[in-house]
Every structure is written in structure tokens, then in C-alpha cells.
Amino acid sequence: MAAKKTAAPAPGGRQAAYTARNRAALIKAGQEVLAEIGPSATIEQLSAHAQVSPTTIYKYFENKDVLFVQALAAAWNSWMEWALSQNLAEDRLQRIIEIGRRLLRTGQTHPLFAQMLHNSLNENPNFMVEADEGEGKRVFKFLADAGELKGDNFEERWVLWSNTITGLTKSVLVDQNLSPEQADTALGIGLSVWGISEAKAKKLVSRDLGLTLLK
């Protein structure tokens, strides 16, 4: 019986793995620098933290801003995976609101991510609107088209809503003049933008999230 041949490694496989590891290490360093300093950190500060030369960073990223955007996106995606794995409600609108309420509590559940958001929002209050990349808007348009939200003048409603969420997140994570619980109440008031009654809004923002918070 002929011996079974072992498949040859794919061309460039080792180099691709090496590149992926280096990029991942720089992304992690970028997240730590965002949490410690913020987007205004210099390439020198970033390279010192990562213990590599600026030339090495430019080998993998066009500039430090691109690295920071990808670092924040990776942290955001990781947090979203966690948020979606939680015991979310069956109702679609309720689920969206609960994810937003969890975002207001990242300081107690995901401190590093919360500090990244703190520094990014502190330097650029429009960060969340810019970073959304349209996904949140698509979700709300879907709900509006399904009749679950008031959909006339959708663009104007979306502008009001997105700025409401940004303002509440900044109030909790940056200015700290609202507690997450107070922000829940404000979130309920803001839902009037979508034609949601006060009674339904209170119900939407009052469901127990079942979070295990850090002390």
C-alpha cells in the first residue's frame, strides 16, 4: 500500500502567518495606547509601547491613524460578539436597546474598551457616528420599514437618535455626569424620536440585563 503523502504547505503560508502575528501584536499595542493616551498618541509613543521601530509599524499600516482605527474596530467587534452572546430579549427592538444599555456599562464590564472609548470620544465627540459605518442606521431602517418604528422623515430621526446615543455614551464614559441608570432613563426619553410611547419606552429600558459587573 502506497504511503499517504503529506500535503505540502501552501506557498507563502509561513510568511502569511508571520505577518498576521505581527499585525495582531501591533493591533493589541494600539488598543493599549488608545486606552492609555488616546488617538493623539504619536508614532514614537506607539512604537515605544510596541517595542518596535516606527519603520516596522509603517510596514504593516499606512500610518498610526489607520492602526488606531483598526485597533478600535477589533475591540468593538470583540465587544459586540460578547454583547450578542448575552441573554438578550427575543423582541428585535428590545435587543437593540439592550445592546446600547450594555455599551453604557462597559466601564464595569470591559474597562480597557471603555477607556479606549473614553479617550476617543474625548478627542472626537463625533467618533461613534463616524465609526458606525452605517450598520446601526441599517438596523433602524429595517425596523422602521417593518413598522416597528416611525419611519417618516427617517434621515432626520436618525440624526437625532445617533447624536442622542453619542451624547449619552460621552456623558457616562467621559464626562461622568450621568450614571448608566440615569442614562437608561434618558435613553427612554430619546426613544420618542421613533414614535415610541412613554410607557413602552420605560419597559424597553428597564429589563434586567443580568450583568456580572466588576467591583
Q: 81 lies in a domain?
A: no
Q: What is the mean pLDDT of residues 29-41?
A: 95
Q: 7 lies in a domain?
A: no
Count of domains observed in the chain: 2
Distance of CA 205 to the CA centre of its chain: 20
* Residue 135 pLDDT level (bands cut at 50, 70, 90): confident
Domain co-membership, 55 together with 90: no
Q: What is the mean pLDDT of residues 184-202?
A: 96
* Residue 134 pLDDT level (bands cut at 50, 70, 90): confident
Cell of 17: 502567518
Q: 4 lies in a domain?
A: no
Cell of 116: 479606549
Please report the pLDDT score of residue 131 as a whole number: 58
Q: What is the mean pLDDT of residues 111-135?
A: 81
Q: What is the mean pLDDT of residues 58-62?
A: 94
Amino acid identity for residue 159 in this structure: V
CA–CA distance, 39 with 119 (Å, rounded to integer): 7
Cell of 15: 510568511
Q: What is the mean pLDDT of residues 122-134?
A: 70
**55: containing domain:** 18-70
Domain co-membership, 104 together with 209: yes
Q: 78 lies in a domain?
A: no
Domain co-membership, 40 together with 99: no
Please report the pLDDT score of residue 18 as a whole number: 78
Domain co-membership, 65 together with 93: no
Domain co-membership, 93 together with 187: yes
pLDDT surpasses 80 at 172: yes
Please check whether residue 110 is in contact with residue 82, taking contact to mean a CB–CB distance below 8 angstroms: yes
Please report the pLDDT score of residue 158 as a whole number: 93
Domain co-membership, 66 together with 94: no
Report pTM.
0.82
Please check whether residue 47 is in contact with residue 53, taking contact to mean a CB–CB distance below 8 angstroms: yes
Which CATH number characterizes residue 40's domain?
A: 1.10.10.60
Domain co-membership, 60 together with 99: no
Please report the pLDDT score of residue 127 as a whole number: 67
Domain co-membership, 107 together with 160: yes
